[in-house]
Amino acid sequence: MKLKINGHSVEVTSDPDTPLLWVIRDELGMTGTKFGCGLAQCGACSVMLDGKVARSCVTPLSSVGAAEVTTIEAVEADPVGQRVVEKWIAHQVPQCGYCQSGQVVAATALLKENPKPSRDDIAAAMVNLCRCGTYNRISDAMLDLAGLGTAKDGETL
Amino acid sequence: MKDNDPVLMEDVAEGAPRNLSRRQFLVTSAGVASGALVIGMGIPLTPARAAGTDQMAPGTNVPAFLEIRPDNRVRLLSPFNEGGQGIFTGMAQIVGEELDADPESFIVENAPAGHDYLVVFGKMRITGGSLSTRSSYDTMRRLGALGRQMLLEAAAAQLNVAVDSLTTEPGQVVHTVSGQKIAYGDLAKAALDLPVPDPKSVKLKDPKDFRWIKQPFKRLDVPDKATGKAIYAMDCKVEGMLHAAVQHAPRLGLKPGDIRNLADVQAMKGVHSVHKLDGAVAVVAERFWVAKLGADALQVDWQEPTEAEKAKIRYMPADFSTEAFARHLTEAKGDGTEAESHGNIKTAFDGPGKVISATYHSQYVHHAQLEPASTLARFNADGTLDIWLPNQAPEQFQAQIAKVAGLKPEQVNVNSPLLGGFFGRHFLYPGANPYPQAVALAKAVGRPVKVIWTREQEFLRDPLRPMAAVRFRGALDASGMPVAIEAISATEGPSEALRGHNPKKVDSNAVEGLTGKAYAIPNRRIAQIYVKNPTSLAYWRSVGHSMNDFLYEGFLDEMADAGGKDPYDLRMTLLKGNARLTNLLKAVGDLSGGWKRGPFTAPDGTRRARGVAMASPFGSEAAAIAEVSIDPAGKVVVHDVWEAIDPGSIVNPALVKLQAMSAATLGVSQVLMEEVIYKTGEPEARNYDLYPILPPDRAPRIHVRIVESGAQMGGVGEPPLPAVPAAIGNAVSHLTGKRVRSMPLDKLTLAT
């Protein structure tokens, strides 16, 4: 089966029912996309399919078809993704970091679709879980990226 | 391909635009690049240099910690693992300060197991107990100073001048008279071959000369974590590796009997083999997803252990339920074993004032770190074992893994990659670490094996923060001031659960947060009634404090209400004469814009109230205020948390704030929504769907003020947690007029 991923077309041999997450991690050897729950609950496995965020742990390989898959490894190749990464660093968002590939991908997908999201748009899109409690800084980074200024009502670094 | 190279298919992984620069980087700066790629792999430095070091005091053998590369980059092997708390950055600041090398030039990895790294008070090594910085601050500064001295001596030999004619500037030795300068990178080889000077011979910097310590230095690990390059145990791989998934026994203690569909699973496409293990059955396959499908499909006849076997393990009975256990704890009889007493508790309740009493409860909670447990094991031709696993105590794991593998500890190379969150999850817990499975499987199949626990298998074996029922009694004098408090906790502490219960002793981890309170209540008695839990127990971020400060501070508010006192003013009065804590309480009041309890109507029309609480965990002091409302569905909304934290003195204010925000958020999660519920011996929730953790839309804004009182350095990772659930509980109680005496609040029916 052919898979378009990060600007390349590759042949993959995993069973068509295999979740895209495990094709990416095991067969293609890219470990930036994380396994957290396997149930589309946490979002650590977020990737983009044709620019839209998808939870790869519940996305069967067979359902990907001709869609272009973008993983965290290629996020910086995209100017929007590059901005997200810059702001993630500027706001010192990650702690343990395990959920952050998914957070960065979700942020990039939102901003590619809507470069000027409102606070509500951000809240609706940024739903991935973080156990370290980086939510305030994710919010700060997103407000900054959306041109809504940095939050002044909480802790900033 | 190198072992553990995270990028198998570089072209795909990198994307075209980065490819060229990346390769260029590899060519021009191979050492650094490969170091960055294997970061967290704990590869030992030159063995010859590190050999024969057992006689040296931990934290002094400079070559076992430091490598200075020709390009002046410094590789530091950290005795503490990085799991989000920022310790790699803090260690670089501390060592860099005395080494006189910019922390930004540091590459930090977790050190392998070894005597040199037992720097926690010079005798042990764990990443936990909020101990890292406070237990090793002087040692790690001295290590940097010893490294600097060795560079000075090497430069003196090279320039043929006296050592005392030399000084340093960041990254270089300077001969003051001639102005000659030599970069550390050009001296390192000679310097690190020199004998390490006597640790007493080096002088540490005067803190007023600090260049990096005390600065809000940015985290070294953030760029890799923002781009998916950070490597966790889950991501490790070696050539020829097989994957394994397990099906755990539904209850701890059960043993695998017949597998009814064994042939079917063995015949599944891609399955290598099926193995019965201790309390589990594993399926080994070329790829993890196949192994997982196989493990899920297994139809295992689980067998009850014999009575003799039950006695040796923590057996989970088939009828266990948390609801019944909570009642059992409440009904525990007696006065318990005393943990703390002051004054005369017998007569203190005979006064003319009011006496109140109440029973409070804590619940089981999961660590729920985002990275489920995994272990990769590889036996080598020379009889050694390489193992990659998330852990907070490499030497302790090494000793246990050696036993399981039938090897000597020194034959086990423990690699400790970055932790995808830990919160106490990755200590040695019987039945809760996958290493025995990985070792058994690697041995059985003769190839390296990586075992990954799915979230469902993780939640089935995750050891829990204990449940407790605490009976409080309080007496007030005629003016409404508290004159006596008694707290008797029916519970089992995590330490006695792991090391065995001593009937004569209280597990301090069971009662901390009931004990050690600073309030001047003249008569007090804190005790524990030991009640064994059928579940496996664990340390959970801030341990006993995570529940006990919630319980105590709630009852203290009840006493305030009974005496007609404002809870903030009452605390201030009870702390009279304690400058450190009255300052801290004032600081959090100021941070919140001045104490106001409410209820009041916010500009958005919601009815709100605030609560206050304090805690004295792990050598630090914390005070928190929370503002809450109740939404139309009856759920608590936490709008803001203000927290003042006094760790005595600090290294990096940015890291302290990060940890405070992180701990406070976990406290919010615990108090609002977390509870492990058992019915018929099994947990109801096996994933985040039924065990929700705080989502972003329920996270409050968190405001932190650091107070440096100058007291002895305390911990940072855990201390900001315990006051937060208590402040929220107190705010909700006041807003609703209904006293909260248990967590989580989401299970209560609330209305204002």
Q: Would you call A96 and B84 a contact, using CB atoms and an 8 Å cutoff?
A: yes
Evaluate whether residue B325 is within a structural domain: no
State the average pLDDT over residues B645-672: 98
Instruction: List the 13-72 stretch of A: residues with Cβ below 8 A of B.
Output: 14-15, 18-19, 22, 25-39, 41-42, 44, 71-72
Q: Would you call A31 and B84 a contact, using CB atoms and an 8 Å cutoff?
A: no
A90 touches chain B (CB under 8 A): no
- pLDDT value, residue B342: 97
Residues B154, B157, B159: CA angle, nearest 5 degrees: 105
Residues of B in contact with A143 (CB under 8 A): none
Residue B49 has pLDDT above 60, yes or no: no
Contact B58, B196 (CB under 8 A): no
Residues of A in contact with B368 (CB under 8 A): 131
- pLDDT value, residue B494: 97
Residue B9 has pLDDT above 50, yes or no: no
Q: Confidence class of residue B548 from pLDDT cuts 50, 70 and 90? A: very high
Residues B531 and B605 in one domain: yes
Residues of A in contact with B422 (CB under 8 A): 96
Residue B88, CA distances (Å) to A12, B103, B268 in order: 38, 10, 44
Q: Confidence class of residue A151 from pLDDT cuts 50, 70 and 90? A: low
CATH number at residue B112: 3.30.365.10
Rounded CA-CA distance B244/B590 in Å is: 54
Residue spans in chain A of domains classed CATH 3.10.20.30 = 2-74
A157 touches chain B (CB under 8 A): yes
Closest CA to B700 of A42, A128, A132, A136: A136
Q: Would you call A131 and B454 a contact, using CB atoms and an 8 Å cutoff?
A: no
- pLDDT value, residue B749: 82
CA-based nearest distance B227→chain A, Å: 6
Query: Identity (one letter) of the amino acid at B123?
Result: K
Residues B390 and B526 in one domain: no
- pLDDT value, residue B313: 85
Q: Which residue of A has its CA nearest to B700?
A: A136
Q: Would you call A127 and B688 a contact, using CB atoms and an 8 Å cutoff?
A: no
Residues of B in contact with A125 (CB under 8 A): none
| Residues shown for chain A | 157
Evaluate whether residue B486 is within a structural domain: yes
Rounded CA-CA distance A100/A72 in Å is: 9
Residue B242 has pLDDT above 60, yes or no: yes
Beta strand B678-679 with B636-646: parallel, antiparallel or unpaired? unpaired
Percentage of the residues of chain B whose pLDDT score is greater than 70: 93
Q: Would you call B16 and A7 a contact, using CB atoms and an 8 Å cutoff?
A: yes
Residue B12: which of A28, A31, A97 has the nearest Cβ? A28
Mutate to test the interface with A, among B8, B81, B85, B222 (most CBs of A within 10 A): B222
CA-based nearest distance A104→chain B, Å: 7
Mean confidence (pLDDT) of chain B = 92
Instruction: Work out how many domains chain B is built from and give that number.
Output: 3
Residues of B in contact with A16 (CB under 8 A): none
CA-based nearest distance B192→chain A, Å: 32
Residues B261 and B339 in one domain: no
- Boundary (domain end) residue, out of B411, B431, B452: B452
SS3 content of chain B, % helix, strand, coil (to 5): 35, 20, 45
Q: Which residue of A has its CA nearest to B655?
A: A157
The overall longest dimension of chain B from CA atoms, in Å, is 84
Query: Identity (one letter) of the amino acid at B122?
Result: G
State the average pLDDT over residues B593-620: 98
Residue B687: which of A37, A139, A153 has the nearest Cβ? A37
Q: Would you call B15 and A7 a contact, using CB atoms and an 8 Å cutoff?
A: yes
Residues B254 and B341 in one domain: no
Rounded CA-CA distance B245/B282 in Å is: 6
Q: Give per-residue pLDDT as tens, A100-149.
A: 999 999 999 999 999 999 999 999 999 999 999 999 999 999 999 999 97
State the average pLDDT over residues B209-220: 97
Residues B252 and B199 in one domain: no
Residues B482 and B584 in one domain: yes
Mutate to test the interface with B, among A23, A37, A88 (most CBs of B within 10 A): A37
Evaluate whether residue B33 is within a structural domain: no
Radius of gyration from C-alpha coordinates of chain B: 28
Evaluate whether residue B98 is within a structural domain: yes
**Locus of tokens 């569909």:** B261
Residues of A in contact with B219 (CB under 8 A): 92, 94
Q: Would you call A74 and B454 a contact, using CB atoms and an 8 Å cutoff?
A: no
Residues B590 and B633 in one domain: yes
Residues of A in contact with B694 (CB under 8 A): 133, 135
Rounded CA-CA distance B33/B36 in Å is: 5
Rounded CA-CA distance B569/B481 in Å is: 11
Question: What pTM, to 2 d.p., does this model score?
Answer: 0.93
CA-based nearest distance B139→chain A, Å: 26
A·B CB contacts under 8 A: 232
Rounded CA-CA distance B192/B153 in Å is: 10
Q: A75-145: which CATH architecture?
A: Orthogonal Bundle (1.10)
**Which of B74-78, B157-161, B747-751 shows the lowest mean pLDDT across its residues?**
B747-751
Residues of B in contact with A25 (CB under 8 A): 288
Residues of A in contact with B218 (CB under 8 A): 89, 92
Residues B581 and B612 in one domain: yes
Residue B750, CA distances (Å) to B78, B196, B289, B562, B599 in order: 48, 65, 44, 22, 15
Residue B17 has pLDDT above 80, yes or no: no
With H, G, I as helix, E, B as strand and everything else as coil, classify residue B492.
Answer: coil
Q: Would you call A154 and B702 a contact, using CB atoms and an 8 Å cutoff?
A: yes
Instruction: List the 105-144 stretch of A: residues with Cβ below 8 A of B.
Output: 123, 126-139
Contact B462, B423 (CB under 8 A): no
Q: Give per-residue pLDDT as tens, B303-333.
A: 999 999 998 889 999 999 999 999 999 999 9
Residues B512 and B534 in one domain: yes
- Boundary (domain end) residue, out of B400, B417, B452: B452
Residue A131: which of B14, B226, B370 has the nearest Cβ? B370
ipTM value > 0.90: yes
Rounded CA-CA distance B249/B452 in Å is: 16
Residue B52 has pLDDT above 70, yes or no: no
Residue spans in chain A of domains classed CATH 1.10.150.120 = 75-145
Q: Confidence class of residue B750 from pLDDT cuts 50, 70 and 90? A: confident
Burial of B693 (0-12, 13-18, 19+ CB in 10 A): buried
Q: Which residue of A has its CA nearest to B641?
A: A154
Q: Which fold has domain A2-74?
A: Ubiquitin-like (UB roll) (3.10.20)
Percentage of the residues of chain B whose pLDDT score is greater than 90: 91
Q: Which residue of B has its CA nearest to A19?
A: B289
Q: Give per-residue pLDDT as tens, B419-448.
A: 999 999 999 999 999 999 999 999 999 999
Contact A126, A106 (CB under 8 A): yes
Residue B664 has pLDDT above 50, yes or no: yes
Residues B210 and B356 in one domain: no
Residues B694 and B743 in one domain: yes
A96 touches chain B (CB under 8 A): yes
- pLDDT value, residue B311: 86
Residue B696: which of A10, A77, A127 has the nearest Cβ? A127
Rounded CA-CA distance B622/B723 in Å is: 7
Contact B59, B136 (CB under 8 A): yes
Mean confidence (pLDDT) of chain A = 95
Q: Which residue of A has its CA nearest to B452?
A: A35
What lies within 8 Å, CB to CB, of B406 at 6+ separation is none
Q: Tokens for B592, please give them.
A: 């919140």
Residues B436 and B577 in one domain: no
Evaluate whether residue B60 is within a structural domain: yes
Rounded CA-CA distance B713/B717 in Å is: 13
- Boundary (domain end) residue, out of B400, B418, B452: B452
**Full residue range of the structural domain in which residue B107 is found:** 38-226
Residue B352 has pLDDT above 90, yes or no: no
- pLDDT value, residue B556: 98
Q: Confidence class of residue B55 from pLDDT cuts 50, 70 and 90? A: confident
**Which of A90-99, B19-28, B308-317, B465-474 shows the lowest mean pLDDT across its residues?**
B19-28
